[in-house]
Amino acid sequence: MPAKESVSWNELKFETDDNVYAPKPASLLLADEAIKVIRPGARVLDACTGSGVVGITIASQVPQAHVTVSDINEAALAAARRNASVNGVHVDVVFSSLYDAFPEDAFDFITVHPPAVPYPDDADWGLSAGMRIATNGGSDGSTLVLRSIAEAKPHLRKGGRLLLLLPHWSNVPAARDELKKHYRSVTELARKQVEFFPVKEGSASPRLLQHVKDLAASGTIEMTFENEVPLSVVSVIEARAD
C-alpha cells in the first residue's frame, strides 16, 4: 500500500500518498498568491494539480470561483477528489495533459506548478512512478515549464492571467524568454527559498548531483550546495494575456 501523508494548511486538510505530489512550500506559495489576485466569480483552471491544494484553496477562499483541476496522473486526480470532499468544496476534476482537454478562451486564470526537476536521460531520482510524472522536466527541467507557458495563452480569455510557479532548479533564462514572448506583461509576485526536495525524498546518485551542479555552474538553473540538501528558489509569476 502507498504510504499516506497528511498536510494541514490555512484551515484545510490534504491527504496524499507517495504517488502524488504532496503540498510543499512551493505549492503553498502559489496557493497563497493566487487567492490574493483571483477575483470572485472567476473561471479558474489549476493544471498539474497534484493533491489539489491550489485549486481547492481557491475554491475555498475566493467567493463563487468556478474551479477546474486537472492532471495526467490518475492517483493525483483521485487525491484531488478526496481532498475537495474532505474540505467541503466543489471543483471539477478533469484528466488532461496540460491544457489539451479544454477549449480556447475558457478561463480567466490558469494556475500551474509544472514538472520542473532536471532528469538527464540516463539517470533517475528514485521517486515513485507518480512522483516521476509530477517532477520530470527533462534534462534541464524546462520541458513542461516552457509548454505550460506557451500553451496556456490560447485558453485564457482576453485579459486573462497565468499564475506560474517557477522553480529555479529548471532553466530560468529559457522560462523568462518564453514568458516575454507570449505575454504583454510579466511580474514576479513572490519568491521563496526552498530545499531541492528530490535529494531528500529520492536517491541522489553522484551522477545526478553532478548534473545539477553543472547546470548551476552554467547559469541554467539557480542552486546552492553548501547544505546537505541543496537550496534553490521558487517564484510565483503573473503573466497577463492581451
Each residue's pLDDT tens digit, 93-111: 999 999 999 999 999 999 9
What was the pLDDT predicted at 10? 84
What was the pLDDT predicted at 4? 73
Mean pLDDT of 77-93: 97
Which letter, b or e, does each residue of 188-218 get, where b requires 16 or more Cβ atoms within 10 Å of its Cβ? ebeeeebbbbbbebbebeeebeebbeebbee
What was the pLDDT predicted at 3? 60
> Is 122 a residue whose pLDDT tops 60?
yes
pLDDT > 70 fraction of the chain, expressed in percent and rounded: 99
Which domains, and CATH codes, for the chain?
Answer: 4-240 (3.40.50.150)
Spatial CA neighbour of 211 closest among 198, 194, 200, 193: 198
Supply the pTM of this predicted model.
0.96
Which letter, b or e, does each residue of 68-85 get, where b requires 16 or more Cβ atoms within 10 Å of its Cβ? bbbbbbebbbebbeebbe
> Is 11 a residue whose pLDDT tops 70?
yes
pLDDT band at 75 (very low <50, low <70, confident <90, very high): very high
What was the pLDDT predicted at 133? 92
> Is 37 a residue whose pLDDT tops 80?
yes
Provide the H-helix boundaries in 87-197: 129-135, 143-150, 172-182
What was the pLDDT predicted at 71? 97
pLDDT band at 89 (very low <50, low <70, confident <90, very high): very high
Mean pLDDT of 206-224: 95
Distance CA 100, CA 151 (A): 9
pLDDT > 90 fraction of the chain, expressed in percent and rounded: 86
Whole-number average pLDDT of the chain: 95
